[in-house]
Structure formats: C-alpha cells, structure tokens
Amino acid sequence: MINLHTLYQMLLALGIGVCGSIVFIFLGLPLPWLLGAIFASSIAMRFEKLPILSPKPFSTPARILIGLTIGSAFTPEILQYIDVYFYSLLLVIPFTILTILCGMYYYYRFQGFDKKTAYLSSMPGGVIEMVIIGEEIKANISKITLVQSSRLFFIVVTLPFVIQYIFKVDISGNKLITQPITTINIPEFLALVFIGVAGGVIAKKIKLSAAYLIGPMIASIAVHSTGVITTTVPDEFLKFVQVVFGTIIGFTFRGVKMKTIISTLIGTFGHFIILALISSIFISIAYFSFGFPIISTILAFSPGGQAELNLIAILVGANVPYITLHHIVRLFIVMNIAPIFAKRLKD
C-alpha cells in the first residue's frame, strides 16, 4: 500500500513533469506532454533533497489506458486490411535477430560485458523481462537495467524530433489527440475501463508478456472491432499518461553517479547508432517494397518499448494497428528466444 507521504512525493514529481510539459508547449517543441516531463523530472531528480519519488505505481493504470487506446484503433474498417501487413511482419524476424547479434557483439567486444549481460543488453525491448531473466542466469543486472533504460531514453527523445523536423509533421503544442472528456459517453467509457482492467488481470494470471498493455488491448480490440463500444480514452487521460511515462523515464538514473550515467550513455549511444542503421535498412525495404506510410514504418521498426512507441504512434496519428502488430511480433520473438539462448551462454 502507498501511504499519504509517498503519494505526495509522487504527485509532486508528476507536478514537476507537468511544469516541464507547459514549458515545452510554450517553446513549440514536439510531444510536449511526454518530452517536457522527461526533461523536467530528469533535472529535478538530481536534487536529492527534493521530496520526490518516481510515480512507478501509476505505470499500470497508464499502460491499461494505452492498451485501450491501441485497441480502439482496430475498427472494422481497419481489420479488413490486416492481411496486407503480412509481408512487412515477416521482416520483423530478421530485423530482431540482426539487432540482437549486432548488439551482443558490440557490448561484448567494445564495452567489455560478459556474454550473458551483453546478450540481454542487446534485446530490443522488455526491460523488466530482461532483468528477470538476468537474475535467473546471474548476469549483471545493474548494467542491463542502465543500458536498456538508456536505449529507451535515446529512442523516445529522438523520434519526436525526427518526425517533426525531418518529416515535417507538426506534433508541437497542446493539441487534441482523441475526444475531450466533455464529449464522451461516460457510462460506455467506464464499461471500457472495466473491460480493460479485467483484460489486464487475466493476462497477468496467464503470464502474458506486457500483461497490463496487451490484455486491455485485446479486450479493446474485441469490443471496438465489433462495434459494441465506440468510445475512446479521453484526450485528458492520454495527456496524463504522457506525463506519467515521461516522469518515470526521467527518474531512470536516480541514485546513479553522474560519472556512471555519462559512461553508460556514451556506451549505449554506440549501440543506438547501430540500431539506427539496422532500422533504416528495414524501414527502407518495407517502405519501397510495400508502400507503407513512412512515419508508420519508422515506428514499426524502432526497437523501443512497446508502451512508449505505441503512445508516440497514437500521438502522431500513425497507423496504430500496423505498428502494434509489428511490436507484438518482435516482443513474441524476444520473449521466446531470450530465455532459451541466455541459459546456454558461457563466458
């Protein structure tokens, strides 16, 4: 249970995140509610005397809301085109394998990691899952956590600027993402939330990866694709979700010495460049071979966290079902091959 003092510290951290978001809105920077919260909280957490804590307990309800929003994009009209995605989805297999092999070689050869730590550090996505596997096989948990978190930080911070300033998609300012709360069907929305929570609980019980994201998403797909429910998550809630994730990401390096942070960021940046090159190859293949929209293709082949990248997809108005399916396939590959090979690695 969270006591009142702890809750106050988390709410204060979220308040700082909101302040950062407002500054980003004023400056006209991309994805202000997400990136503003990241930068404000990453600065604030360096002041150790500030009574603030990472709002990690808010992550679960935030993931449920993202899952419900993703599912709402799977309308009957969208579902009839899913078979068109098949060949693009096949590219996820070599993309994931190549990403892992190159990342593992980089961390083992150039960063001096042991093979098990290098292997799990190279995995594209699933920070918590990689840490759990790392504990089982006695890899270096702190290195895996720092590297995976650094990679996520680079991707989440870089993509919005690429989308806005290179591809000229305006994602700055305080814009509506979905419907405002004043216009939605409240009883239907409450029913949607109940279905989402139930989906998350069931997914957790059957030990599904990213349960509180995938479970609600599947439940939302079921009711939206059939037209049973048409209401989506209100715009205000998605802004709150952005602040929550932004603040949590900003707290990633709390308690870690600045020297360690800098060395980790420098080391991970090399891996980030490798990932960018590999992603560019597969993005080009998918774009020129199949004609999928470039923004959607970029997000589909970006090796970041499922929740974070799907959130960006929602915010920029990309093809959410296309992107989501690619990340589900990648997550399935990673979660099934990671434990098998990790246990067989020997230094």
pLDDT, position 154 = 92
pLDDT, position 126 = 66
Average pLDDT rounded to a whole number, residues 74-92 = 79
Q: Write the DSSP symbol of residue 91.
A: T
Q: Is pLDDT above 70 for 300?
A: yes
Residue 173 amino acid letter: G
79: confidence class by pLDDT, cuts 50, 70, 90 = low
> CA distances (Å), 151 to each of 106, 123, 314, in order?
14, 10, 21
pLDDT, greater one: 75 or 217? 217
Rounded Cα–Cα distance for residues 161 and 29 (Å): 8
Assess contact for 233 and 85: CB atoms under 8 A. no
Sign of CA dihedral 318, 304, 306, 105: positive
Rounded Cα–Cα distance for residues 51 and 243 (Å): 18
| Dihedrals phi, psi of 172, to nearest 5 degrees | -95, 165
Rounded Cα–Cα distance for residues 321 and 261 (Å): 35
133: confidence class by pLDDT, cuts 50, 70, 90 = confident
142's tokens: 């702190």
pLDDT, position 317 = 84
pLDDT, position 333 = 85
> CA distances (Å), 156 to each of 31, 151, 160, 227, 304, in order?
10, 9, 7, 33, 8
Assess contact for 326 and 337: CB atoms under 8 A. no
Rounded Cα–Cα distance for residues 328 and 131 (Å): 19
pLDDT, position 54 = 94
329's tokens: 């396939």
300's tokens: 């589909």
Rounded Cα–Cα distance for residues 121 and 135 (Å): 13
Q: What 3-state class would DSSP assign to 172?
A: strand
Q: Is pLDDT above 80 for 173?
A: no
pLDDT, position 204 = 93
Q: Which range in 8-17, 86-95, 175-184 is most confidently predicted, on average pLDDT?
A: 8-17
Please state the pTM of the whole predicted model: 0.86
Percent of the chain with pLDDT over 70: 96
240's tokens: 């709150």
pLDDT, position 347 = 59
Q: Which residues, other chains included, contact 288 with Cβ-Cβ below 8 Å and sequence gap of 6+? A: none
Average pLDDT rounded to a whole number, residues 253-265 = 88
Q: Whats the size of the chain, residue-wise? A: 347
Helix axes 32-44 and 141-161, enclosed angle (nearest 10): 140
- In this structure, of 197-201, 264-268, 343-347, the range with the lowest mean pLDDT score is 343-347
Cα 56 to chain centroid, rounded: 14
Helices then strands, counting H and E runs in the chain, come out as 16, 0
pLDDT, position 225 = 84
pLDDT, position 18 = 97
- Mean of all residue pLDDT scores within the chain: 89
pLDDT single digits (tens) 11-33: 999 999 999 999 999 998 898 99
Q: Is pLDDT above 90 for 145?
A: no
Helix axes 211-225 and 186-205, enclosed angle (nearest 10): 130
Rounded Cα–Cα distance for residues 311 and 332 (Å): 19
pLDDT, position 86 = 86
